Amino acid sequence: MSSVGLGAAAAAPGHAPIMRTPMGGTEDLWVPSSMGPIKVQVQWAARGGSAALYLLDGLRAPGDHSQWTTDTNAMRQFAGDNVTLVFPVGGHSSFYTDWYRPSSSNGQTTTYKWETFLTQELPAFLEGYGVSRTNNAIVGPSMGGNAALTLAAHHRDQFKFAGSFSGYVHPTFPLWSEAMRAAMRDEGNFNVDDMWGPTSDPAWNRNDATNQAELLRGLPMYLWTGNAVPGLPDLSNGVTNTVNAMGLEGITMVANQMFRDRVAALGIGARIDFGQGTHTWPYWQQALANCRTQILDAVGGY
């Protein structure tokens, strides 16, 4: 990707508005935020359209790139489409939410404010490039899956589609908070209590896609989860990684079954697929391909 320096990127929205996005190509932007400058990788809409698809990362989100850009063919999937792909970089163990305070267990000095960034600061910045603030889709795997659904639930004016792939979509279910605690401790020694407080805190309920299902009524959605049975994409992962991916996917399968039952009971439409696979990127690449037409229909990205 070409790179826009921090000074240039920060200044761009202050210039005369760009009425149409650049036509195709990729770029690295640095976006001002309360967390400091955030790198955002973009692939501009093929014909300069204003629609956008936000692609969130998983729990292990690297600090220098989105795994969607290196571990999948997402950019190629949408290369000819009139929708800008937006890849926020970072958010390691953040669940893409606004935390109460910095993590007290790893020396973090800045409070994660990812919901604020994704729904206020980043859309305002991209508007300077002609990207709509109100015609977006959002998807994510694992950690990003629940976040995609909850962000769409609470910001229906911004998102017209939401997709969750192997998402942890029911974090308030008993003992899930402890599973999250262990995962976040393992990934960067983050403290879940500094994110949403004790499990009795309303923040847990607000960030639970299953509990917030009513807010998703009428929103086009796609959820995919594997059955924890390894397939061909797992052959190159090694035994240890595959066993871990099987265990993680078994947990997400149960959560997604609960989400499925919840929306069915409420009479809320959603496309939900269960297939063979584990908790790893090749399956999420295919899940994105599965819902590409839904995304383009929702935002008019043809």
Bridge-partner residues for 221, per DSSP?
A: 162
- The confidence score (pLDDT) of residue 244 equals 85
Which residues, in sequence order, are CB contacts of 107 under 8 Å at separation 6+? none
pLDDT digits 0-9 by tens, 89-98: 999 999 999 9
Residue 173 structure tokens: 């279910």
* Residue type present at position 33: S
Q: What is the CA radius of gyration of the chain?
A: 18
The CA distance from 188 to 202, in Å, is 25
- Point out the residues that are catalytic: 142, 249, 279
The CA distance from 51 to 296, in Å, is 9
The CA distance from 264 to 249, in Å, is 22
Q: Phi/psi of residue 48, each to 5°?
A: 75, 20
Confidence band (pLDDT; 50, 70, 90) for 9? very low
Q: Is the pLDDT of residue 5 over 50?
A: no
The two beta strands, 221-226 and 271-275, are: parallel
pLDDT digits 0-9 by tens, 224-277: 999 989 888 887 776 668 888 888 888 899 999 999 999 999 999 999 999 999
CATH of the domain at 189: 3.40.50.1820
Q: How many domains does the chain have?
A: 1
pLDDT digits 0-9 by tens, 138-164: 999 999 999 999 999 999 999 999 999
Give the chain's mean pLDDT.
91
* DSSP per position, 153-210: HH-TTTEEEEEEES----TTSTTHHHHHHHHHHHTT---THHHH-STTSHHHHHT-TT
Residue 79 structure tokens: 């290369």
- The confidence score (pLDDT) of residue 143 equals 95
- The confidence score (pLDDT) of residue 224 equals 97
Beta strands in 193-261 (DSSP E): 221-226
Its pTM surpasses 0.85: yes
* Residue type present at position 238: G
Residue 301 structure tokens: 């990205």
Strand order of the β-sheet with 2-3 is 2-3, 26-31, 38-43, 84-88, 52-55, 136-141, 159-165, 221-226, 271-275
Residue 264 · residue 216 · CB < 8 Å: no
Residue 50 structure tokens: 């204003």
Report which DSSP code applies to 50.
Answer: S
Q: Is the pLDDT of residue 7 over 50?
A: no
- Domain containing residue 204: 2-299
